[in-house]
Structure 1
Amino acid sequence: MATRQAQAVIGAGYGDEGKGLLTDRLACGTADAVVVRSNGGAQAGHTVATPDGRRHVFHHFGSGALAGAPTHLSAFFVAHPMFFQGERQALKALGAELAVSADPRAIVTTPFDMMINQALELSRGTGRHGSCGLGFGEAIERCLRPDHAIRTGDLSKPHLAGCLWCIWTDWVPQRLRGLGLDRLPDDIMRHVDIETVIGRFLRDCEAYLDHVTLRPDSRLGETGQVIFEGAQGLLLDQDYGAFPHVTRSNTGLRNMVSIAREAGIDSIDAHYVTRCYVTRHGAGPLAHEAAGLAGIDMVDPTNAPNAWQGTLRLAPLDLAVLRSAIAHDLQAAASSAVAVAPDLSVTCLDQASCGFALLDGGGPTSVDPQDAGRRIAGGANLPLFGESWGAGRTHFRPVGELARAG
């Protein structure tokens, strides 16, 4: 039997590393690619800008859609029917590939998960955890209870409305008590009629099923080139990041390897991605944080300041932190039967000028952007896969092109 190989795009920081850009670049170069969302949900925001001027921030679709690649939502993805249709319409207007399949085991977010999530985050005041308020973690928590779990395969079942009412009358008050909250705040409830909320959500679920084909992860072995697209980054991994300021998922190879085993995929080329500096959106520790970075002119129209996550935060890239995070992720996949070949891509080099700083567990070292990709990859003990010198796929230079340019 022939060996089956997949590609993977993994953020090596706190998210916002350029995963959308690289996924789009890989999908553009492969005629039969399918992009597999291997963790996260609609709270992810992966930006793609095409050479012809189209731009989209991907939430529920894979970032290869503008390059013509269909999307598969794995068993580890958390679906959000309330937001799916709006994004689908936006992508349709852009001429993107709209085909989506989903594993029936994928968890589904309800409006009640969002309500609880937002109530809890608001109650924390200045001690917020950095949530987007979209109910991602709360959906996972609820689905630990089989009597309140809703998964993609349940959306066509006749008892769905009854399950939603049960979640409202039983799960919501129980969960609020467990969180030390008396009730949902007036700011949320004054605009809510539960019967209307449930009715609208049922219509969202019907529309979702109209456009999503149920397909188990195991059947990915029947497709062409699989491109795993991770969400968030290794420093937000639920088993590695600084708790409680983490996402409730595994952001690296762990899920990808599990899906690969089911699908009969033998090996994964794992493309870790980092900016040449570090960003963090939301609360939580950020070593060496600075109001601005010498030699870095950050341009980021996607991560605008917002009420839930504040302003994008900055720090110089510490190669010791990068090296440790990637080594931990590779170790987590070492015992699997899936072979992993890792490398590193460095993005946002167009935003750096001579003399910008890198760290390696100590003081800063000034670096020339033209040499930074190789320096950063070497510091991470990985081969360099490519560099990005702009926002789109045409600005990404694979190692072969860099060698010719040199």
Structure 2
Amino acid sequence: MANVVVVGAQWGDEGKGKIVDWLCEQADIVARFQGGHNAGHTLVIGDAVYKLSLLPSGVVRPGKLAVIGNGVVLDPQALVDEIDRLATQGVSITRDNLRIADNATLILPLHRELDALRENSNAGTRIGTTRRGIGPAYEDKVGRRAIRLMDLADLETLPAKIERLLSHHNALRRGFGLAEFGAEEIFDELSAVAPKVLPYMDTVWRLLDEERRHGSRILFEGAQGALLDIDHGTYPFVTSSHTVAGQAATGTGLGPKAVGYVLGIAKAYTTRVGEGPFPTELDDEIGQRIGERGREFGTVTGRKRRCGWFDAVLVRQTVRTSGIDGIALTKLDILDGFDEIKVCVGYRLDGEVLDHLPASQGAQARVEPVYETIEGWPGTTAGARSWADLPAQAIKYVRRIEELIGAPVALLSTSPERDDTILVHNPFEG
């Protein structure tokens, strides 16, 4: 049995939560390897709807161990709030089902405030962040001044680390003409939350290595999508971490051989939240129709998502940068009833046809999609659980997508309900 990495093959919001939950039955451990509480998963289990931001999807399943890896930036208060919210839905979070890497970087209130200050500023490029402090926390991590979870277990040495952090942040505050942060206030906040989060702390790299050697099946769960990767995404309109599959190993402390099957998640169309290039965006009644039928609003922020046709060029690019073995195609039912459906098969830039999205910000803003038109279908795919339940033209659409992206469809999702899934290939079987 192979360990499985789940990555978004577009700009996020592809329906990873449902797929991860569907795969959880076969996994022993679900490990989150990057991002923070700026991403969200919505799980629909029977009549219950769970909205998760920081916790791995496995926490709502009895008998599964959820792990937050070192690649994640952790807002301790957001974690406590999420645990308390799940408790009201009957989900108990204890050390038995949640572990957090001792070397995970913490998000502090000063990170959230800096994030908002930059996003609201007229200077520079507006990125469209969630203002939750993710980027500034990663900056402090690579700047070697971050507070990490393990630091809360040694309060005697914490004041010096806070002073080191503030030597940077208070200089920024002065630049904004704002009052400086006080070290005592930050110390008091961290010492107050420490007893609530330290019980989950563990040496995650060792835990996962031992579990892997004992035959436990690990499901690696990413946030956002590969096109928001800090290197391989539409820079600078990206997140602050690596979202491609290779981060699954780095973000949990395991070697690359621990990663087995890579499952990419892609919608049957394309959406994006926030700023940045979007070659197939539909700023018309068709785009509005897709958004309304797909209920395209962000899980975390509630922001309306931009909608467009399926971009095979971008997904094919992600297949390569993440080493995707198979695709879980979601929300096919949203396209039911369209007379014709378009798929982007290339880009036109300055008179030249390209088979990939160029890295340049200026070029990305200028590319025009080259479309292939595919006949739609009058029937419904909603709730289909076998190929026999699908209209013939819907199957042709799926097959054409496989050809264009260079990867097979391993799972097909036809509604938010976890059982409305057509299994073509089980990722855990490698």
Matched, 1:215 2:203: yes
1:107–1:260: structure 2 CA closer, same or farther, 3 Å change rule? closer
Identify the residue that residue 335 of structure 1 maps to in structure 2.
none
Q: For residues 226-265 of structure 1, what are the structure 2 equivalents within 5 Å? A: 226-258=218-250, 262=254, 265=257
1:356 positional shift: 3.0
Identify the residue that residue 148 of structure 2 maps to in structure 1.
151
1:100–1:107: structure 2 CA closer, same or farther, 3 Å change rule? same
Q: Distance in 1 between matches of 2:8 and 2:310?
A: 14
1:131 positional shift: 0.8
- SS of the aligned residue for 2:416 comes to coil
70, 75, 86: which one aligns with 2:70: 75
1:170 positional shift: 1.5
- SS of the aligned residue for 1:44 comes to coil
Q: For residues 190-339 of structure 1, what are the structure 2 equivalents within 5 Å? A: 196=185, 198-210=187-199, 212-223=200-211, 224-258=216-250, 262=254, 265-291=257-283, 292-293=285-286, 296=290, 297-300=292-295, 303=298, 310-330=303-323
Q: Distance in 2 between matches of 1:267 and 1:196?
A: 42
1:301 positional shift: 6.5
- SS of the aligned residue for 2:260 comes to strand
Matched, 1:345 2:364: no
- SS of the aligned residue for 1:293 comes to helix
Identify the residue that residue 380 of structure 1 maps to in structure 2.
405
1:315 positional shift: 1.3
1:9 positional shift: 0.8
Identify the residue that residue 17 of structure 1 maps to in structure 2.
14
Give the aligned CA root-mean-square deviation in angstroms.
2.8
Q: Distance in 1 between matches of 2:419 and 2:129?
A: 33
Identify the residue that residue 84 of structure 2 maps to in structure 1.
89
Q: TM-score, normalised by structure 2?
A: 0.79
107, 114, 121: which one aligns with 2:119: 121
Matched, 1:399 2:399: no
Partner amino acid for 1:209?
L
1:202 positional shift: 2.7
Identify the residue that residue 343 of structure 2 maps to in structure 1.
358
Give structure 1 stretches of 5+ with no counterpart: 331-340, 402-406
Partner amino acid for 1:232?
Q
- SS of the aligned residue for 1:49 comes to strand
| Contact 1:345/1:387 (8 A) holds in 2 | yes
Q: Distance in 2 between matches of 1:350 and 1:384?
A: 16
1:149–1:275: structure 2 CA closer, same or farther, 3 Å change rule? same
36, 39, 48: which one aligns with 1:54: 48
Q: Distance in 2 between matches of 1:165 and 1:213?
A: 20
159, 162, 166: which one aligns with 1:162: 159
% identical equivalent positions = 23
Once structures 1 and 2 are overlaid, which stretch shifts more, 372-381 or 242-251?
Answer: 372-381
- SS of the aligned residue for 2:265 comes to strand
Identify the residue that residue 109 of structure 2 maps to in structure 1.
111
Once structures 1 and 2 are overlaid, which stretch shifts more, 14-23 or 254-263?
Answer: 254-263
Identify the residue that residue 334 of structure 1 maps to in structure 2.
none
Once structures 1 and 2 are overlaid, which stretch shifts more, 5-14 or 250-259?
Answer: 250-259
| Contact 2:31/2:252 (8 A) holds in 1 | no
Q: Distance in 1 between matches of 2:402 and 2:87?
A: 38
- Deviations along 1:90-130, whole A, 9 cap, x unmatched? 22232336221122221111111111111111113795211
Matched, 1:8 2:10: no
Once structures 1 and 2 are overlaid, which stretch shifts more, 364-373 or 377-386?
Answer: 364-373
1:64 positional shift: 1.9
Q: Distance in 2 between matches of 1:256 and 1:138?
A: 22
Q: Distance in 2 between matches of 1:389 and 1:253?
A: 25
Q: Distance in 2 between matches of 1:201 and 1:261?
A: 25
Q: Distance in 1 between matches of 2:140 and 2:51?
A: 28
- SS of the aligned residue for 1:57 comes to strand
Q: Distance in 1 between matches of 2:158 and 2:35?
A: 25
- Deviations along 1:278-327, whole A, 9 cap, x unmatched? 11111111112113436735333752795xx8531111111122101221
Partner amino acid for 2:371?
G
Identify the residue that residue 101 of structure 1 maps to in structure 2.
99
Q: For residues 34-53 of structure 1, what are the structure 2 equivalents within 5 Å? A: 34-51=29-46, 53=47
Q: For residues 132-147 of structure 1, what are the structure 2 equivalents within 5 Å? A: 132-146=130-144
| Contact 1:218/1:263 (8 A) holds in 2 | no
1:91–1:305: structure 2 CA closer, same or farther, 3 Å change rule? closer
1:260–1:214: structure 2 CA closer, same or farther, 3 Å change rule? closer
- Deviations along 1:238-294, whole A, 9 cap, x unmatched? 001122111111102111233677368544111100011111111111112113436
Give structure 2 stretches of 5+ with no counterpart: 347-369, 382-393
| Contact 1:114/1:134 (8 A) holds in 2 | yes
